Amino acid sequence: MIRFIDVMRDRFGVELVWRTMRAAEVGFVTARGYRAAKSRSVSARTLSDQVIGGETVRLHAENHGVFGIRKMHLPLKRLGWEIGRDQTARIMRAHQKDDRDGPRQASAAHAHEIRSDKGSTWFHPLKG
């Protein structure tokens, strides 16, 4: 939500985006929540995901791009990472390195149109 507001705020203004999202029942962010999210530091989980994500990209490339989630989990454990299979899957999906899933795509069924006097655009939340 925060990223979407950042993208749309120059075009439509923050207040219009909030009102439209609230009217479409897809938004939960208040002005106070938006400011808090923007001033918040990066979480420990995000930092570790970025580091481990780099390792998964490297290991995936070293193994000619054939390692899926189950095969990637074991080399990460051997390298000393304390990581579960579900966490491995989440990180690989975030880095789009699971050959079965392909890139994350938005569903047209979940798209929402945001209109203003300046024009309209579509909001597609990512599945994942």
Interval 9-30: pLDDT, tens: 888 887 788 778 777 766 566 7
Domain boundaries, the chain: 2-40+105-123, 44-94
Nearest residue to 4 via CA among 113, 128, 125: 125
Tally of helices (H runs) and strands (E runs) in the chain: 6, 2
Which amino acid is located at 64 in the chain?
H
Matching residue, tokens 């705020």:
9
Check: pTM over 0.85? Answer yes or no: no
Q: Which residues contact 126 (CB under 8 A, 6 or more apart)?
A: 104, 105, 106
pLDDT tens string 39-69: 888 888 888 888 998 888 888 888 887 778 8
Angle between helices 44-62 and 69-78 (to 10 degrees): 100
120: its two tokens: 């309209």
- Mean pLDDT over 30-44 rounds to 81
Residue 5 pLDDT more than 50?
yes
**Residue 126: DSSP 8-state:** B
